[in-house]
Copies of this chain bind each other. A is one copy, B any other.
Amino acid sequence: MAVKYYFEALHDAIHEEMTRDSAVMVLGEDVGQYGGSYKVTKGLYEEFGEWRVLDTPIAENSFAGMAVGMAMTGVRPIIEGMNMGFLLLAFSQIANNGGMVRYTSGGQFTVPMVVRGPGGVGKQLGAEHSQRLEAYFYAVPGLKIIAPATPRDAKGLLKAAIRDNNTVLFFEHVLLYNLKEEIEDTEDLVIPIGKANLLREGTDVTILTYSRQVHHCLQAMKTLEEEGYDPELIDLRTLKPLDLEMIGASVCKTHRLLIVEEDYKTAGIGSEIMALVNEHFFDQLDAPMVRLASKDIPTPYNGRMEAATIPQVADIIQAVKSLVD
């Protein structure tokens, strides 16, 4: 076992996969000589050279399209979005081609590409740098979407994403990079895409969450336990495809559902989960499902307003209580 930071775990995943498979390469802004804005690709340029660790100009639309072209022709590119928000400029290439070429080509071409980078609300980064795009891309067919909350999941899921033959969007959280965790020293740590992680068994209420909000929920658990509540906490880890099996099993046990997410409340991951649970487990619900999400506003710079924009521990505790009581 070794203690790893979230950013190191990501680095190790890429390093191991690049070592294992010469087709795997990284491209993006400052991924090479600079080592990545969050140091995820540190040292790779020196080890693997400029062809496999490609510093690109600031041309998101075209380098994403290039990555599609590479992926169609035997390379396995990992795009780093310096901030995932910038990839709004590459939306058409990611959606049209990362998501659809496999289908429109009748199965002839695959696009094994990973699009990874930081997102989420950080420390007063302002509206454009605080975006959560997981919901914007959610409807696009053909894509898989991952959002790990811990170093171990970050490593295991990134390795799985790199080995996956579909286009995978991999959302890291800007405030998790310096999170530490003990991880086994194996190179075989591959966590299957599509499997959620049961963090706490409980009977009161099912809490579904992902990415940074997992940690807010874990904090809330302490207080809730002390006060005699018994929530079941699930880290979705993979947002698309959802682990409907685990979600269903839990809802059938608790009959109550709370979703804690950092993306916008409107049309967020939570709304799709609610729709699915309504469709599959309606009779199991004893109360309306609740979404605890970010307010539907551009993330304000002001610290207090920013804090009020996203779900906080107190909100989670409050939400669980009003759901259970």
Partner of A103, one of B91, B103, B283, B297: B297
Partner of A139, one of B89, B95, B96, B266: B266
Closest Cβ–Cβ distance, residue A216 to chain B (whole Å): 21
Of A67-75, A200-208, A273-281, which binds chain B?
A: A273-281
B103 touches A127 (CB 8 A): yes
Interface bits A136-177 vs B (CB < 8 Å: 1, else 0)? 101111100000000000000000000000000000000000
* Identical chains bound together, number: 2
> Cβ of A61: which chain B residues have Cβ within 8 Å of it?
61, 89
Select the residue from A100, A135, A278 with max chain B CB neighbours within 10 A: A278
B92 touches A104 (CB 8 A): no
A128 CB-CB contact with B under 8 Å: yes
Q: Mark out the residues of chain A between 205 and 230 whose CB falls within 8 Å of any chain B CB in the assembled complex.
A: none
In this complex, how many residues of chain A approach chain B with their Cβ under 8 Å: the count is: 46
Of A13-21, A31-39, A117-125, A284-292, which binds chain B?
A: A284-292
With A266-B272, A270-B275, A282-B287: A127-B104 Cβ-Cβ less than 8 Å: yes
Select the residue from A140, A270, A283 with max chain B CB neighbours within 10 A: A140
B127 touches A100 (CB 8 A): yes
- In Å, the complex CA distance between A138 and B298 comes to 14
- In Å, the complex CA distance between A283 and B287 comes to 8
A263 touches B100 (CB 8 A): no
A264 CB-CB contact with B under 8 Å: yes
Interface on A for B, CB 8 Å cutoff? Answer: 61, 88-89, 91-92, 95-96, 99-100, 103-104, 126-128, 135-136, 138-142, 240, 263-264, 266-268, 270-272, 274-275, 278-279, 282-283, 285, 287-291, 296-298, 300
